[in-house]
Amino acid sequence: MIANAKPSYATITTTPRQLTTDSFSPDDRAFEFTNHWFSAPLKQIWAQIFSKFRPRNLLEIGSFEGASGCYLIDTLAGRHPIRLTCIDSWDGGAEHRKGGPFEADMPAVEARFHRNIQRAVASAAHPVELDIRKGLSDKMLCTLIAEGKEESFDFIYVDGSHQACDVICDAVLSFKLLSEGGIIIFDDYLWRGGAADTGNPLKTPKLAIDAFINLHFDRLQLLSFPLYQLYARKTVRHK
């Protein structure tokens, strides 16, 4: 129902449900994850972040099968109500196309996302307001800004296109949506692309992320964690 919603996004609000031994978790076999990109080491780092920062309004760019979204719901909605906005076109990147290094059946990926995320929402101990935006990230982020949501998200995870020109667009628009004191995480900071793209900086996120960090150095505090992902907190501009 969500996938076919008109316009291109849908909102679901859930009510609290008592957790039981049958409840889902991101590691539960009832979830349909076909890869381990969102791995245990990343979850451990995010757990450290969430032990200090308790975000309630979350945005992720790039949802794929819902692994990160399910983790956010499982972890944070176990403590308090949250709102989670998920942006994805479910068209996949160049690496997901036929013959690519991570070839994927994207309609099947999208279907798994909806099943996985709804299972996570159904087992949440606190209410989850889920806002799914299907479309290209630049258009969806601009739509959020036009809706008056500037500086309203206290956690943003950027894991969409790996093309440098797309990543810089996601970064700049996300920064407008990030609240003061909010956390932004860039995935695949050291990703080198598919075999055919290795060595081409325009096909990787790092060039764009470095440019963004350099241009916003006076409003960002880099958090010290392993650099496969890059973690930063939005701060007050220096006078």
pTM of the entire predicted model: 0.85
Q: How far apart are CA 205 and CA 221, in angstroms?
A: 19
Spell out a b/e string for 109-135, using b for 16 or more CB atoms within 10 Å of the CB, else e: bbebbbebbbbbbebbbbbbbbbbbbb
Per mean pLDDT, which range of 52-61, 96-105, 192-201 is the poorest?
192-201
Q: Which pLDDT value is given to residue 19?
A: 31
pLDDT band for 6, please (50, 70, 90 cuts): very low
Neighbouring CB atoms inside 10 A of 170's CB total: 25
Cis before 226 (ω within 30): no
Closest by Cα among 65, 50, 56, 48 to 225: 48
- pLDDT, average across residues 89-108: 80
Mean pLDDT of the chain: 85
Q: Which pLDDT value is given to residue 234?
A: 97
Main-chain dihedrals φ then ψ at residue 56, nearest 5 degrees: -120, -25
Q: Which pLDDT value is given to residue 8?
A: 38
Q: Which pLDDT value is given to residue 198?
A: 60
Q: How far apart are CA 61 and CA 139, in angstroms?
A: 12
Q: Which pLDDT value is given to residue 197?
A: 57
The DSSP letter of residue 7 is S
Q: Which pLDDT value is given to residue 194?
A: 59
- What CATH number was assigned to the domain covering residues 9-234? 3.40.50.150
Cβ–Cβ < 8 Å for 64, 113: yes
